[in-house]
Amino acid sequence: MPPDPLSATFSALADPTRRAILARLASGEASVTELAGPFAMSLPAVTKHLKVLEKAGLISRGREAQFRPCRLEPAPLGDATAWIDTYRRLWEERLDGLERYLREVQAKDAKRAGKRAKQ
C-alpha cells in the first residue's frame, strides 16, 4: 500500500540531503548537475534523492531540450505545516493551562507564607 501524501512528505524531508535540495530549489529551478554540485555524491545518487522528492510531490521536473529543470512544488509543504500547526496549537494551549495552574499554586503558596509570617 503506498503511503499517504503526508507520510511521503515527512519521509522525504527526513533526509538532510533532500532538505538541502529543497532549500536550493526555493531560490529557483536548477538542473540535476547544479543540484549535485555541493554534495560529495554521484549524479545517480542525487537522482535517487530527486525521485523521492518527486514521488512525494515536493518537486517537479520539466524538459526543455537537453535541460531538465527541477522546480519546488510547495503544496505538500503547506499540508505538512498545517498538520504541524494543529499540534503546535494543542501544545500551546496545554502549556498555557499549565502556566495558569502554576501561577495559581504560587499565589496560594505566597498567601500561606504571608499568613505564617504574621503569626
Sequence-separated (6 or more) residues with CB below 8 Å from residue 21: 35, 46, 49, 50, 53, 59, 70
Q: Identify whether residues 14 and 65 lie together within a single domain.
A: yes
Cell of 24: 536550493
Counted domains in the chain: 2
Statement to judge: residues 25 and 64 lie in one domain: yes
The range of the structural domain enclosing residue 99 comes to 77-119
Last residue of a domain, one of 57, 73, 89: 73
Structure pTM?
0.76
Q: What is the pLDDT of residues 60-109, one digit of tens each?
A: 988 877 778 999 999 999 999 999 999 999 999 999 999 999 999 999 88
Q: Say if residue 47 is in the same domain as residue 83.
A: no
User: CB burial class (10 A; 0-12, 13-18, 19+) of residue 70?
Assistant: buried
**Residues 67 and 113 reside in one and the same domain:** no
Q: Which of 42, 58, 73 marks a domain boundary? A: 73
